[in-house]
Structure 1
Amino acid sequence: MRHGFSYRSASWLIDIDAPPTLPPTMRTLAVFRPDDHFPEPATPAQTLRDRLNTHLRSVGVEPPRGRVVALLSPRVAGYVFNPLSVFWCHDPDDTLACVVAEVHNTYGERHCYVVSPDEHGNAQVTKAFYVSPFNPVDGTYRLHVPPPRDNGCIDVSVTLHRTDEAPFTATLSGQARPATPRRILATQLVAPFAPLVVAARIRRHGIHLWLRRLPIRPRPTRTATPSPQGAR
């Protein structure tokens, strides 16, 4: 069984130490909350950098001392859903120290893969997190996560590999533009309420595959890290 789709959507490319703050009249279109990312319990006054550092230390990785650029979705109208967020972590000399690929599933759980890509932006990591009800927790992810280019071009892909097959591939490509008020409003015409629409599309495709009798893979028992209320 083959199933594929392509959509236009909208994500933000930000410096995690200076997340954008929109004017009050536009704030429902993008709010960046640190507790929307990383699996550790949130504490008051934590920044996104604090949460990144806490997670990296928990997996035995030295936190970066340079800039960190993230590709993610903010809260829109109070709702957030990030199927994949990517954090490019740099050393003080601006060389890439590591990449954190954070995955959220529709059960309100999250998991981070920390990788060291090669000079082409490629890395491999064993799958360790239940995402789709049609894929068990096995196989290897091949990630293509080169840093954003100087002109703002983004080219990210994730492919799940098993023996002699690649049952799942997802790609995200686009061009970053300055987040002016006019452009933010225009984006809502192209991709309105992007996080909500993305979550709805994932569920719709899941129902479609279920109706085609694609077998459901049992969800393993694990300690879930729930997302904040409203972030499913």
Structure 2
Amino acid sequence: MLSVLYRTRITHLSRSPVHHYFEQGGYLWYVDLDDLPRLPRWLQPFATFEAADHLSPPVTGPDTLRARVDQYLADRGVDLPGGTVTALTQARVLGHVFNPLTVFWCHDDRGVLRHVIAEVHTTSGDRHAYLLPPTGAQPAAVKKAVMVSPADGADGYYLVRAPLPGVDLDVTISLHRDNKPAFVATLDGTRWKASVANVMRLQLVAPMAPLIGEMWIRMQGTTLWTQRAPAVTRAPEREREKVGQL
């Protein structure tokens, strides 16, 4: 599979504890973990993919992004030898990366999609990966396991709709409490060829995308605080580790 780019638009709608909406433009890579992009050396600082930015290192063998996905699946009793794993993610740009959401689509050796992994990163440095069934255009439910905002706890459950990207990208995640949506995020985009010209173009229209994205989310958190959204106390480190193992 040849890598592609998606020019993206992200929307966030918070309904509880306060009503707040924002949207942000950017771009993401869609890559085959066994065939990551090979850019000219002079352009590589604007798109590098590091295993350490995702999941946990493998128990044995080389520490690659593919090996980390295989280890994550193996820890949950899943074995997909020879199957393709594709990922929608943000690359490192000038050494910086911030991936609020990375999605991995895991196929068996016949090309059948078997599992979806949705990995969430928070601005506080926590991350957690959710293993989902391949539900296509229908959402999959999963219990929330990590606090992503000081104004939001770790209770409730997500509905995640993450069909395989095509010409268009269309991912939706909603957080539900008491059978009501408390938060809805959408990620949509249009596919671009991953050419040198397009990578350069995106550095102009969305410069330092990971850093700007993180700063923007932090600004929205500050806005929620000024709107008197109640802060939620973070669990002690030991308790957060237990949650992360769910």
TM-score by length of 2: 0.85
1:218–1:201 distance in 2 versus 1, CA, 3 Å: same
Q: Which of 195, 198, 222 matches 2:210?
A: 195
- For the aligned residue pairs, the C-alpha RMSD in angstroms reads 1.8
| Letter of the 1:49 counterpart | R
Residue-by-residue CA offset, 1:40-65 (whole Å, 9 max, x unaligned):
47988322111101111123333463
Structure 2: 5+ residue stretches without partners: 1-17, 242-246
The match for 2:71 among 54, 68, 77 is 54
Amino acid at match of 1:105: T
The 5 Å alignment of 1:215-226 reads 215-223=230-238
Q: Deviations over 1:90-133 (max 9, x none)?
A: 11221110000001111112110001032434211000111111
Q: Which residue of 2 aligns with 1:101?
A: 118
Partner of 1:230: none
The aligned residue for residue 8 of structure 2 is none
The answer for the alignment partner of 1:30 in structure 2 is 47
Measure, in 2, the Cα distance between the counterparts of 1:108 and 1:210.
Answer: 19
Q: Considering fraction of residues, name the structure with more strand.
A: 2
> For residues 141 and 219 of structure 1, do their structure 2 counterparts lie closer, same or farther at Cα, with a shift above 3 Å needed?
same
Percent sequence identity is 41
**Contact 1:121-1:147 within 8 A present in 2 as well:** no
TM (norm. structure 1) is 0.90
Matches for 1:136-215 after TM superposition, within 5 Å = 136-149=153-166, 152-215=167-230
Instruction: Describe the shift of the 1:217–1:42 C-alpha distance in structure 2 as closer, same or farther (beyond 3 A).
Output: farther
- Amino acid of the structure 2 residue aligned with 1:79: H
Q: 1:16 aligns with which of 33, 36, 46?
A: 33
Q: Match of 1:99, as an amino acid?
A: V
Deviation at 1:164, TM superposition (A): 4.0
- Tell me the secondary structure at the aligned position of residue 99 of structure 1: strand
Cα distance in 2 between the residues matched to 1:121 and 1:73:
25
Q: Partners of 2:53 and 2:158 in 1: how far apart?
A: 23
CA distance in 2, matches of 1:65, 1:124: 28
Tell whether the 8 Å contact from 1:157 to 1:169 is kept in structure 2 after alignment. yes
Q: Kindly indicate whether the alpha-carbon contact (under 8 Å) linking 1:39 and 1:111 is maintained by their aligned counterparts in 2.
A: no
Q: Given residue 214 of structure 2, which amino acid in structure 1 is its aligned partner?
A: A
Residues 98/44 of structure 1: CA separation in 2 closer, same or farther (3 Å cut): closer
Contact 1:21-1:31 at 8 Å conserved across structures? no
Instruction: Give the aligned residue type for 2:62.
Output: A
